[in-house]
Amino acid sequence: MSGPEHLPPTADDAAVPASQARALALAERWSVEDPDPMHREALRAELDAATGSGPEAEAARASLASRFSGPLAFGTAGLRAEEGPGESRMNRLVVRRTAAGLARHLWEGVGEDAAAPLAVVGYDARRGSLGFAQDTAAVLTAAGVQVVLLPDALPTPVLAFAVRHLSADAGVMVTASHNPPADNGYKVYLGGRMTDEAGRGAQIVSPADVAIAELIDHEAWTADIPLAEDGWTVAGDELLEAYREAALAVLDEDRHPDRALRIVYTPLHGVGGAVLPGLLDEAGFGPVHVVPEQAEPDPAFPTVAFPNPEEPGAMDLALALAAEVDADLVIANDPDADRLALAAPFPGQDGTRVWRMLSGDAVGTLLGAHLLPALAVAERSVANSVVSSPQLAALAEAQSVAHHVTLTGFKWISRAPQLGFGYEEALGYCVDPDMVRDKDGITAALVAAELVAGLVARGCTVADALADVDAVTGSMPSGQVSVRVADLSVIPRTMAALRAQGPATLAGEPVTVRRDLAEGGAGLPPTDALLFATASGTRVLVRPSGTEPKLKCYLGARDADPAVAAERLEALRAEVAALVGG
């Protein structure tokens, strides 16, 4: 299906680099095979442009080389990339190949003579998500897998809940979470007969990712992958109602019965708006004001530069509405509603209320402090990722509750023994692991509302609650320096340089701890990260992002005096930014 007439003209065919020739040949085939007609048209136009000369032809050839630079890698985060045609992008052919590989893995896991595997498939409101989910259902069904397809674009936690609720052997969630609008992704969960109890309903970890990846046939074309025209089940209202009922059960009437609370909520153009406002209302919180410009799902995310509540400007509309209605709490979910961001009013110098975003560590610590008394009685543990603040560990120790440090990501946090609450600083919180063994921005929002309503009823503020925590542990502020790169090779070069010669001091204090987490140890498997710390508790952990082209540096300080701790953190922030080019 390719021909020499589509190769760019050269003085000598041998002058065409082998990688370029491969890309052009694959693009020719892909322009016929891609199930998406818009992708086929775009690829055909790019191929035609590549046959010319000049800047436009060079740009077309560079784009084709990028699209066909090798198959999109499948790992513990599943798939995530820009949506579009090509083997290195998220598209229906890549998704069909992946679904076929997952089907093979499920049958290998349950055995050919066993009852058919059961998989649940969900999707968010991003461009292409519905088609990717339907293709997944069709491929799995054709392979003999029983499939339940969620009935609409819904939060990722609903899919994670369904895996456990239905005792499914696997779950697939089509989402790119808080990535830029052009991206999409494919998360895989295991359950049922495919994993042990600790992993049931959690995202995959090694070696499952490697096993699935090895079963994905990157040479398969459209006709090679059977598709069922029907045969899967579309979930009814009862599944979402079961999630809603379980979500409301995380609240405790005895813990804090007062629920009068003025709330501003934004789903950031995502799917959280279909679930959370109704739950807040049903639980008795309110009034709830939803940011109107961001209320409905929109894959273009028109009001934000990045659909991530951590990014500058993303919360501006919500904070403006909070000031207008004199709200007690701002709640934000990311587009697939597995993350939670909070903002609260703090006392200003002139007696007015000043709105501030809470860091992921601050929210995690407050939620942990709120839940710890019940967890102590139930003999459940708490956990956080190694990049998160150690303040939760100090709180847990004070209440004789077991604490675990895990690698980054809820695929690890959710597997902590006897887990009752877990969090990571990247706005991920799990308040009921028996319900959802993953981060859940919906249930975490309900518990946050319960916490703040209790404060308001007592005439207290979030600032008071943070001070109460500091009174137990000392002040432990945290922060982050992130470097976004265009050239991915910058990240390993920077990590290698820091391994060769890390900082001798942090915020004016000698470094007494140097740990290369790639060597493992301290209960953690190896991971690409470096930890430097001082005797007082000033620390920085450096690691590459697992989902974005970023080098991330996680900062922390500790002192009995909050002013001293804050001063150290700001000094550390400046030092680390200079060190890594942030």
Q: Taking the domains of the chain in order of start, what are their residue ranges? A: 4-67, 79-239, 249-473, 478-580
Report how far residue 499's alpha carbon sits from residue 545's, in angstroms, rounded to the nearest whole number: 17
Which among 453, 459, 467 has a CA at the least distance from the CA of 255? 453
Token pair of 109 as six digits: 């896991």
Tokens of 25: 């040949």
**For residue 578, what is the enclosing H or E element?**
helix 562-580
Report which of 48, 128, 42, 50 is spatially closest to residue 85, judged by C-alpha positions. Answer: 42
Structure tokens of 562?
């909050």
pLDDT of residue 254: 75
pLDDT value of position 16? 54
Q: Which CATH class is domain 478-580?
A: alpha beta
- What lies within 8 Å, CB to CB, of 55 at 6+ separation is none
pLDDT tens-digit profile, the chain (582 residues):
333 333 344 434 444 567 778 889 999 999 999 999 999 999 999 999 998 889 999 999 999 999 999 999 999 889 999 999 999 999 999 999 999 999 999 999 999 889 999 999 999 999 999 999 999 999 999 999 999 999 999 999 999 999 999 999 999 999 999 999 999 999 999 999 999 999 999 999 999 999 999 999 999 999 999 999 999 999 999 999 999 999 999 999 777 677 999 999 999 999 999 999 999 999 999 999 999 999 999 999 999 999 999 999 999 999 999 999 999 999 999 999 999 999 999 988 887 889 999 999 999 999 999 999 999 999 999 999 999 999 999 999 999 999 999 999 999 999 999 999 999 999 999 999 999 999 999 999 999 999 999 999 999 999 999 999 999 999 999 999 998 888 888 999 999 999 999 999 999 999 999 999 999 877 788 999 999 999 999 999 999 987 778 899 999 999 999 999 999 999 999 999 998 876
- With CA atoms as reference, report the closest residue to 443 among 452, 432, 434: 432
Could you give the strand order of the β-sheet that contains 428-430, starting from the edge strand earlier in sequence? 403-406, 381-385, 419-424, 428-430
Name the class of domain 79-239: alpha beta
If you count DSSP H runs as helices and E runs as strands, how many of each does the chain have, helices first? Answer: 17, 22
Contact assessment for residue 440 and residue 460, using Cβ atoms and an 8 Å cutoff: no
Contact 261, 286 (CB under 8 A): yes
- 500-525 in b/e form (b: 16+ CB < 10 A) is eebeeebbebebeeebbbeeeeeebe
CB 180 within 8 A of CB 192: no
CA distance 72 to 216: 11
- pLDDT, residue 405, reads 95
Tell the CATH topology of 249-473: Alpha-D-Glucose-1,6-Bisphosphate; Chain A, domain 3 (3.40.120)
How many whole angstroms separate alpha carbon 242 and alpha carbon 65? 47
Could you tell me how far CA 280 lies from the centroid of its own chain? 23
Residue 376 is predicted with a pLDDT of 97
Question: How many Cβ atoms are within 10 Å of 574's Cβ, its own excluded?
Answer: 12
Q: Give exposure, 104-136, as e/b (b: 16+ Cβ within 10 Å).
A: bbbbebbeeeeebbbbbbbbbbbbbbbbbbbbb
- In the numeric block, which tokens belong to residue 546? 């697992």
pLDDT at 5: 36
Contact in structure between 462 and 370 (CB atoms under 8 Å)? no
Residues that are catalytic: 177
Q: Say what the pLDDT of residue 21 is.
A: 83
Q: CB neighbours of 545 closer than 8 A, spacing ≥ 6?
A: 482, 551, 552
Residue 452, pLDDT score: 96
Domains 79-239 and 249-473 fall in the same CATH topology: yes
Q: What amino acid is encoded at 471 in this protein?
A: A
Q: Is 555 helix (H, G, I), strand (E, B) or coil?
A: strand
Contact status, residue 561 vs residue 475, Cβ threshold 8 Å: yes
Which SS3 state, helix, strand or coil, does residue 162 take?
A: helix
- pLDDT of 581 reads 78
Give me the residue label for tokens 């985060």: 77
Q: How far apart are CA 409 and CA 412, in angstroms?
A: 6
CB atoms within 10 A of CB 21: 14
**Residue 548 phi/psi, 5° resolution?**
-135, 160
Q: Cα–Cα distances in Å, from 203 out to 75, 185, 190, 543?
A: 11, 13, 7, 21
- Supply the pLDDT for residue 11: 34
Q: Would you state the pLDDT for residue 582?
A: 64
